[in-house]
């Protein structure tokens, strides 16, 4: 869509104005965060705020040239948070979930009547901060933001207008710009950041608000626990031993007082948990021995969806990609979350479907997505693979050797982070033990760090949190490598989630 807009603009405006509009388009991205693909220049004559939708409108002019743009947000790629607990006050955090350009917007101007300008760093001096891929908004511009409507709860509407002078470069004269944007609060969160770690004995709640000084906040007994994932204030914990639950549900709405509020026993339709995803208001859990399950926790509506062993799963749009023992990587249509449909889109040839039980969690292949393509860290051949979905299945388009048996995989932005280790049991006895960082665009390993029984990895902001037998290792990833900043010995574990 953006390319089409640029082509139209180039035919009618001077190069300097083109540069201006290119950057204005980027600017609006902090308001629009990935406009929906159906939008084109002039295609939507109404402004999002006028019809109570999320989006941005912008008008700019230079002499006799006047342009007006209306963009509607892709809600799936826009997150709006109301954040409490900051020493300088509450703030809004609006960001995109897409990869580069990654856009970040913060403002302390949360009340009707508040005004702010953009600063070079996130603070209350100017009130607002905006960056594209880490590059702050140009400081020579004179745009002022005015908060018209504020909110503090999920579902509250926010409206902010803006006006002032803008130019792409300091050498270009400022052009008048004005407009407004409207969003709706998705989440209310506290600034304190927590990570959740299973260590075979407990579920540990660790305050990682300061990456340089993490601290243990709370523990919950969880014998033989090896997996944890969190959605909507619930942590899902998986256990290895047959006498322990298939899964426990932990209320983490207040992390320091987290508590188990329910569980499902093993046996019958439930084997051993391998992965968890959220689909609308339902939870899908993959099972190493019993297929995968569809749960509605609130009304204890549990159903088994597939009978084949499932090793891992990831959601993209209205579908799941699962690693299924019968056909490898397989697509599940979840357009209607209550009635998932098993499709004939799959790839068996290039996907390892085996699993190897181990007390710290079974070894198996993992799958994740960057929102465009699908990736699998294969268990047997020690390769990290990139797949593209087509009408005929999932096509392998690239791969890289990671020299290890995967224990966890996460993707953030343009990078994959993979932990690998050896097993004491055949055939997994020789492996790189550590964390590996892969550039998804080039499918090359750009950094790796050796560890001791590396077991889990998650990404938050500019940090990678990695567990092994020695502790929680925190790496600064802002320079596209793994720079160790802290090791917290009490953070050892089998798996980790935010």
- What is the CATH class of 192-497? mainly beta
pLDDT in tens, 242-268: 999 999 999 887 788 898 988 999 998
pLDDT in tens, 324-354: 999 999 999 999 988 999 999 999 999 999 9
pLDDT in tens, 473-482: 999 998 999 9
Strands (E), 288-433: 291-296, 301-306, 310-316, 319-324, 328-333, 341-347, 355-356, 363-364, 366-369, 374-377, 383-390, 393-401, 406-412, 415-420
**Distance, CA of 400 to CA of 442 (rounded, Å):** 10
| CA distance to 23, 159, 161, 456, per residue, from 179 (Å) | 15, 11, 6, 45
State yes or no: pLDDT of 6 exceeds 50: no
Q: Is 188 exposed, middle or buried (0-12, 13-18, 19+ CB in 10 A)?
A: middle
Q: Residue 247's closest CA among 144, 257, 231?
A: 231
Residue 483 or 281, more confident: 483
- Mean of the pLDDT values across residues 115-137? 75
Q: How many C-alpha atoms does 117 have within 13 Å on its Cβ side?
A: 14
Q: Which two tokens stand for residue 492?
A: 């050892």
State yes or no: pLDDT of 40 exceeds 70: no
- Which range among 34-48, 148-162, 390-404, 439-453 shows the weakest confidence by mean pLDDT? 34-48
- Mean of the pLDDT values across residues 373-380? 98
Residues 6 or more apart whose CB falls under 8 angstroms from that of 11 comprise: none
| pLDDT band (50, 70, 90) for residue 207 | very high
Q: Do residues 245 and 282 lie in contact, with contact meaning Cβ atoms separated by under 8 Å? A: no
DSSP for 103-116 reads EEEEES--STT-EE
| pLDDT band (50, 70, 90) for residue 234 | confident
- Mean of the pLDDT values across residues 155-160? 94
Examine residue 101 and say whether the peptide bond preceding it is cis (omega within 30 degrees of 0). yes
**Distance, CA of 356 to CA of 375 (rounded, Å):** 21
Q: Where are the domains of the chain?
A: 2-189, 192-497
**Distance, CA of 68 to CA of 73 (rounded, Å):** 17
* pLDDT at residue 140, as a whole number: 82
Residue 389 or 65, more confident: 389
* pLDDT at residue 160, as a whole number: 95
- Which range among 74-83, 267-276, 424-433 shows the weakest confidence by mean pLDDT? 74-83
pLDDT-above-90 percentage for the chain: 58
- Work out the mean pLDDT of the chain and round it to a whole number: 85
| pLDDT band (50, 70, 90) for residue 13 | very low
User: 2: which DSSP letter?
Assistant: H
| pLDDT band (50, 70, 90) for residue 66 | low
What predicted TM-score, i.e. pTM, was given to this entire model? Answer: 0.67
């Amino acid at each position: 869509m953006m390319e089409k807009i640029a082509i139209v603009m180039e035919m009618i405006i001077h190069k300097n104005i083109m540069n201006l509009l290119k950057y204005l388009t980027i600017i609006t991205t902090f308001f629009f965060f990935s406009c929906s693909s159906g939008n084109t220049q002039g295609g939507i004559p109404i402004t999002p705020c006028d019809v109570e939708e999320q989006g941005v409108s912008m008008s700019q002019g230079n002499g006799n040239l006047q342009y007006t743009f209306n963009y509607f947000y892709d809600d799936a790629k826009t997150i709006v948070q109301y954040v409490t607990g900051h020493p300088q006050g509450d703030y809004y955090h609006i960001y995109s979930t897409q990869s580069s350009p990654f856009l970040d917007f913060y403002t302390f101007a949360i009340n009707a009547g508040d005004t702010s300008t953009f600063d070079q760093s996130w603070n209350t001096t100017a009130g607002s901060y905006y960056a594209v891929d880490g590059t702050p908004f140009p400081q020579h511009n004179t745009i002022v933001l005015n908060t018209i409507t504020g909110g503090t709860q999920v579902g509250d509407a926010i409206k902010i207008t803006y006006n002032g002078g803008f130019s792409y470069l300091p050498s270009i004269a400022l052009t008048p710009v004005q407009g407004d944007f409207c969003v709706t609060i998705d989440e209310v969160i506290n600034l304190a950041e927590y990570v959740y770690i299973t260590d075979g004995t407990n579920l540990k709640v660790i305050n990682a608000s300061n990456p340089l000084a993490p601290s243990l906040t709370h523990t919950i007994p969880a014998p033989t626990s090896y997996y944890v994932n969190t959605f909507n204030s619930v942590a899902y914990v998986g256990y290895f031993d047959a006498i322990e639950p298939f899964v426990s549900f932990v209320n983490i709405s207040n992390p320091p007082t987290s508590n188990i509020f329910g569980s499902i026993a093993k046996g019958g339709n439930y084997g051993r948990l391998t992965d968890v995803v959220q689909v609308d208001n339902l939870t899908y859990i993959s099972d190493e021995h019993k297929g995968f399950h569809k749960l509605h926790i609130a009304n204890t509506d549990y159903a088994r969806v597939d009978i084949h062993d499932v090793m891992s799963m990831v959601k993209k749009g209205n579908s799941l990609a699962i690693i299924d023992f019968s056909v490898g990587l397989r697509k599940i249509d979840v357009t209607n979350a209550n009635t998932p449909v098993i499709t004939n889109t799959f790839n068996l040839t290039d996907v390892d479907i085996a699993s190897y039980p181990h007390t710290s969690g079974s070894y198996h292949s993992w799958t994740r997505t960057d929102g465009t393509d699908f990736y699998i860290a294969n268990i047997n051949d020690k390769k990290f693979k990139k797949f593209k979905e087509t009408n005929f299945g999932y096509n392998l388009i690239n791969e890289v050797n990671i020299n290890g048996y995967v224990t966890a995989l996460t993707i953030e932005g343009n990078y994959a982070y993979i932990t690998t280790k050896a097993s004491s049991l055949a055939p997994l006895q020789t492996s790189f033990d550590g964390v590996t960082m892969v550039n998804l665009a080039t499918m090359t390993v750009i950094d790796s760090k050796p560890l001791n029984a590396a077991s889990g990895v998650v990404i938050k902001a500019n940090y990678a949190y990695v567990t092994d037998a020695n502790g929680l290792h925190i790496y600064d990833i802002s320079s596209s490598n793994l720079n160790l900043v802290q090791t917290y010995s009490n953070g050892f574990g089998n798996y980790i989630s935010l």
